Structure 1
Amino acid sequence: MKFYVASSFKNIPMVRAVTESLRAAGHRLTYDWTQNERASAAKDLERIGQEEKRAILEADVVIVLLPGGKGTHVELGLALAWKKSIYLYSEVPLSLNESTTFYHLPEIRHITGELDEFLLLINNHYRYQEASYEQH
């Protein structure tokens, strides 16, 4: 499975934990935006935006880790438009004030709870899918 992780700079440790866990299970990250410094010029923003857009298009799965910022929600919109498999993760249930209509669309799998359980769910789902595919 090829995956992309959308989130905010505030969540870099969680993004890296998700990335390491999924890579260890044999999955491939399409772009590691956590290696970027904060952009200091419009050219940097353009280059990073192109990379992130390409990475979302290339991904089979987009994982959105909340809370997210403006960029996270643009990435969510691209994933929806390109009909990607989307997992939306939050440690605690969101109130209506913290939510958006798009979080509740039927094509989004919204998971709340412990990060380890979330990662186990994704790994098991894609391990089963890949094994099923290989048998056919």
Structure 2
Amino acid sequence: MHQNNNTNFYIAGSFRYSKLINNLSDILESLSFVRTYNWTVNKKADSIKKLREIANDELQGVEQADFLVFIFPSGKGANIEFGIATALKKRIYILDVNNEIENFNLTSTFYFMDNVKSFKGSQDDFAKFIIDCETK
């Protein structure tokens, strides 16, 4: 239903999940999905100017994406990207790394909206889940 050779995606998450994020991206890119921005290559920002540049690059990446992948749990930046994607009515796929998305002390109401699909399981199974959803 959705997927074509120009389907763009953005992955929001924490630097601690960089390897998982890049592996997942590799799987999706091998199937002709296009990553809009790879923030995992950024070094720690050392100035307000650099923070501004990164923020604009990340915003543009989310705006250009057809869907957002969100690795949960993540920090404030990833949650802001989630919020941007929500406001832009993007499809959102959540990988619940620690099986905590339904923990009322850790979750958000926004993770349960109609445009959001949560997944618990392995990275490979999550990639298949996204691909199945995007190619129906």
Structure 2 SS opposite 1:86 = strand
1:104 is aligned to 2:136: no
- Out of 112-121 and 28-37, give the one that drifted further: 112-121
Measure how far apart 1:119 and its partner are: 0.3
What CA distance in whole angstroms lies between the structure 1 residues aligned with 2:113 and 2:98?
A: 19
Mapping of residues 56-95 of structure 1, within 5 Å? 56-94=62-100, 95=103
Deviations along 1:49-105, one digit per CA (max 9) or x if unpaired, are 000001100000100011200001000000000001111111342121121111122
TM-score, length-scaled by structure 2: 0.89
Corresponding residue number in structure 2 for 1:124: 132
Larger Rg: 1
- Out of 95-104 and 17-26, give the one that drifted further: 95-104
Q: Structure with the greater relative contact order (CA < 8 A, sep ≥ 6): 1 or 2?
A: 2
Measure how far apart 1:125 and its partner are: 2.7
Q: Which amino acid is the alignment partner of residue 48 of structure 2?
A: A
Q: Which amino acid is the alignment partner of residue 110 of structure 2?
A: F
Greater share of helix residues, 1 or 2? 1
What CA distance in whole angstroms lies between the structure 2 residues aligned with 1:62 and 1:53?
A: 12
Measure how far apart 1:123 and its partner are: 1.6
What CA distance in whole angstroms lies between the structure 2 residues aligned with 1:64 and 1:119?
A: 12
Q: Which amino acid is the alignment partner of residue 62 of structure 1?
A: L
Over the matched positions of the two proteins, sequence identity in percent amounts to: 30
Gaps of 5+ in 2: 1-6
Matching residue within 101, 113, 116 for 2:121: 113
Structure 1 SS opposite 2:93 = strand
TM-score, length-scaled by structure 1: 0.89
Deviations along 1:25-58, one digit per CA (max 9) or x if unpaired, are 1110000001100111000000000000011000
Gaps of 5+ in 1: 130-136
Consecutive aligned runs of 4 or more in structure 1 exceeding 6 Å deviation: none
Corresponding residue number in structure 1 for 2:13: 7
Q: Check whether the contact 2:73–2:97 (CA below 8 A) recurs between aligned residues.
A: no
